[in-house]
């Protein structure tokens, strides 16, 4: 039986019997984790193992949002507290080379912790370019208001993830930086012209179009489609994200539960798949919603399956690195000491 084209979540620190039965039947191609699922590396490994056992596959992806700053699901005392992306952008203004080294080091340190917990995907870097008047939902999660700085630091984070044997996810394509609203709560309308979007918002995604994985933004871009949010717009998914921006990797939707989308969960899932997303993402851990999404998505097949397989090729053994030197570089960017987890941060807690 094939894996299906959706990434699911779960409610707690261990799978319930009902969740096990659901995963056994629906077989999502991935599991995304949140703070509610994370207590210790040992507990996380057990949770991941039980998910793989339920879907009867080791080929699934295990995802988390561990950007640093406001968005990090793994927190002290069992994991390091890492700085937000903007810290690297501020350092870039005075020392671009050091900033890129620090961004790489931060991503590499995070990848080490994720690998220790059997997590294979980090939903970072954020390539959005904030503009004046935009909603704070992106804020310091973005590297800079300069797309060229975003490109340089986004590339460094992407390479740091890959060096640590973890897949990065560039987000939120085709750009959430101008949004005046939080798409978790409502549908942002971005009234920039096509020329403005090409010159600023799309630039980082074009430059990193070779990324193995990408996540969409639930935004309305009237310059291309004045009726449908980008994640459910065949025009934006096809003509903009694939053709104009040129992404070649697997593209997942942002969370189907966000209020920027409307309709039932089945309708949302069918909508993102029909528009051209390879995989639908569902994050709430609500079993009834999970069942609805799982019933609406197709098997992971065709070009989507090929992109999924190509992404997994990057899941190699981590490259050696100097932990203390990496922490020193991140400390330079953060302006505060990055806590050590002891002589060997990979020792299970």
Instruction: Tell me which residues are annotated as active site.
Output: 184, 254
CB 214 within 8 A of CB 240: no
Contacts of residue 205, defined as CB under 8 A and 6 or more positions apart, other chains included, come to 127, 170, 173, 174, 175, 214, 241, 245, 247
DSSP states along 133-202: T--TTTGGGSS-SSHHHHHHHHHHHHHHHHHTT-EEEEEEET--TT-SS-TTTS--B----HHHIIIIIS
3-state secondary structure of 257: coil
Counting DSSP H helices and E strands in the chain, the numbers are 12, 10
Give the C-alpha separation, 231 to 331, whole Å. Answer: 37
Enumerate the β-bridge partners of residue 299.
4
Contacts of residue 25, defined as CB under 8 A and 6 or more positions apart, other chains included, come to 294
CB 149 within 8 A of CB 89: yes
Residue 108: alpha-carbon gap to chain centroid: 16
Burial class (CB in 10 A: 0-12, 13-18, 19+), 325: exposed
Give the C-alpha separation, 122 to 145, whole Å. Answer: 23
Give the C-alpha separation, 291 to 265, whole Å. Answer: 9
């Amino acid at each position: 039986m094939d894996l299906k084209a959706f990434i699911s979540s779960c409610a707690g620190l261990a799978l319930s019997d009902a969740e096990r039965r659901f995963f056994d039947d629906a077989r999502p191609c991935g599991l995304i984790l949140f703070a509610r699922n994370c207590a210790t590396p040992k507990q996380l490994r057990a949770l991941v193992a039980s998910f793989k056992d339920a879907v009867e596959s080791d080929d699934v992806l295990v995802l988390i949002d561990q950007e640093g700053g406001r968005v990090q699901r793994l927190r002290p005392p069992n994991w390091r507290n890492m700085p937000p992306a903007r810290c690297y952008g501020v350092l870039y203004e005075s020392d671009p080379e050091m900033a890129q080294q620090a961004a790489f080091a931060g991503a590499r340190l995070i990848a080490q912790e994720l690998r220790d917990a059997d997590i294979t995907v980090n939903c970072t870097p954020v390539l959005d370019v904030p503009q004046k008047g935009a909603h704070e939902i992106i804020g310091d999660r973005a590297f800079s208001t300069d797309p060229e700085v975003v490109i340089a630091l986004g590339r460094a984070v992407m390479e740091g993830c890959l060096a640590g044997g973890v897949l990065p996810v560039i987000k939120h394509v085709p750009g959430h930086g101008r949004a005046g609203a939080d798409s978790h709560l409502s549908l942002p309308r971005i009234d920039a012209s096509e020329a403005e979007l090409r010159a600023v918002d799309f630039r980082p995604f074009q430059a990193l179009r070779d990324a193995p994985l990408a996540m969409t933004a639930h935004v309305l871009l009237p310059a291309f489609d004045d009726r449908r949010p980008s994640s459910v717009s065949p025009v934006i998914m096809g003509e903009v994200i694939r053709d104009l921006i040129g992404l070649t990797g697997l593209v997942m939707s942002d969370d189907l539960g966000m209020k920027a989308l409307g309709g039932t969960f089945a309708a949302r899932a069918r909508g993102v798949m029909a528009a051209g997303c390879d995989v639908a993402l569902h994050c709430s851990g609500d079993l009834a919603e999970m069942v609805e999404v799982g019933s609406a998505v197709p098997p992971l097949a065709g070009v989507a399956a090929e992109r999924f397989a190509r992404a997994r090729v990057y899941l190699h053994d981590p490259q050696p690195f100097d932990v203390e030197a990496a922490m020193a570089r991140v400390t330079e960017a953060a302006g505060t000491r990055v806590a050590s987890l002891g002589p060997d941060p990979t020792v299970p807690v």
